[in-house]
Amino acid sequence: MKVLHLGVSGFALVSLVGCSAMGLGSKPVDYKAGAGQVQSLEMPPGLTAPVTDDTYKVEGAEGESVATYSAYAKDKSAPAVVQSKQQAPTVLAPVKGVSIEHDGEKRYLRVDESAERVWPVVESFVRDAGFKMQSEDQSAGIIETDWEENRPKDNKNSGILTKIFSGFFSSGERNRFRIRLERVKDDVTNIYVTEYGQEEVLDSSGITTSWKMLPNDPELEAEMLQRLMVQFGANPEQAAVATTKGAQASGGANLVQIFDGSSIIVINDAFDKSWRRVGLAIEKTGLVVEDKDREKGVYYVRTPLAKSSWLQKLEFWKDEDAAQHFRVNVKDNGASCDVSMTDANGDSSAEARKQLEVIYKHINQ
């Protein structure tokens, strides 16, 4: 037993001596000193050290870096959002200029951009406004909306265009719009808006109803132009002021009979203004502009298709293109212009003379 005690005591003594020799006695261990002696890693041949990126570095108010969000949030003046170095590109850059111009009593929108850039903006505006497209022809620059029911005109707190959509009942009136783009120059486009209205009336029997055309509503046309102007980046207040500006005086127009028995319209305005006045008058008559050639001064128009009811549309065996085609010619005389109209064969037919008289009435309104 005594031998066992001596053995245990000897083992403990040897252990204490060993710990003292290794420096693990009562002296505290300096771990930092050991860590400082470690050499930094060396990059293998052919490799380069990674480059640090400051994209996600969070800066404090004084520009110094902070490691935690709590340190960042302590400073009330620190920017709330870190701006990225590269901003997201815009879908369509702002146009250079937009204004509402007057041609007599008629207003139109002038945009200092090419027709190719203006077209998608107008098309998007019409769709976002909730109108259904009846037709759109980019080559001719024409968008026509479908007929929309008009709400009763007792809502004075909302805009005029908002009355077009009715969710519950009919007012017996409906509207549609024709928007026409005209390339004036490579970087200038004019936009014309024409409104058409119809009223549902009882026929002589007092049982069935039919739609009767109403005069154009200048207020609806002006509001559409005003909203289009805002769509192109104008301030709403500025657009409202531009819409209410006074109209400019236009030269007079006369219907003159010439030597061969046909008639012409003489407009006492330069070609640019006369061309616009004729185009607007054509739209008010209800004629459809199929194409136009400004350089030659020709509008290619046709009468609307007679088939309008669903029963007539089922008559597929009949000619779909039953409309009559005409040419409206605007001849530049310098200070004035002569406007004539011929049929598809180039003749001044009775129907062409009749249509010209209707155009003259709208020019002289």
3-state secondary structure the chain: CHHHHHHHHHHHHHHHHHHHHCCCCCCCCCHHHHHHCCCCCCCCCCCCCCCCCCCCCCECCCCCECCCHHHHHHCCCCCCCCCCCCCCCCCCCCCCCEEEEEECCEEEEEECCCHHHHHHHHHHHHHHCCCCEEEEECCCCEEEECCEECCCCCCCCCCCHHHHCCCCCCCCEEEEEEEEEEEEECCEEEEEEEEEEEEEEECCCCCCEEEEEECCCHHHHHHHHHHHHHHCCCCHHHHHHHHCCCCCCCCCEEEEECCCCCEEEEECCCHHHHHHHHHHHHHHHCCEEEEEECCCCEEEEECCCCCCCHHHHCCCCCCCCCCCEEEEEEEECCCCEEEEEEECCCCCCHHHHHHHHHHHHHHCC
Q: CA–CA separation, 148 vs 171, rounded Å?
A: 11
Least confident of 49-63, 252-266, 273-287, 324-338: 49-63
**Residue 110 forms beta bridges with which residues?**
99, 190
Tell me what pLDDT residue 50 has. Answer: 54
Say yes or no to pLDDT of 305 above 80: no
Tell me what pLDDT residue 164 has. Answer: 52
Say yes or no to pLDDT of 181 above 90: yes
Confidence grade of residue 105 (pLDDT, cut at 50, 70, 90): confident
Confidence grade of residue 95 (pLDDT, cut at 50, 70, 90): very low
Tell me what pLDDT residue 96 has. Answer: 57
Query: Is the whole model's pTM more than 0.85, yes or no?
Result: no
Tell me what pLDDT residue 91 has. Answer: 37
- CATH code of the region 91-249: 3.30.310.80
Instruction: Tell me, yes or no, if the two domains 91-249 and 250-365 fold the same way.
Output: yes
Say yes or no to pLDDT of 33 above 70: no
**Residue 328 forms beta bridges with which residues?**
299, 341
CATH fold, domain 250-365, is TATA-Binding Protein (3.30.310)
Say yes or no to pLDDT of 307 above 70: no
Tell me what pLDDT residue 61 has. Answer: 45
For 312-360, the pLDDT digits (tens) are 555 555 555 578 999 999 999 988 999 999 998 888 899 999 999 999 9
Q: CA–CA separation, 336 vs 332, rounded Å?
A: 7
Tell me what pLDDT residue 10 has. Answer: 54
The residue extents of the domains of the chain are 91-249, 250-365
Tell me what pLDDT residue 248 has. Answer: 60
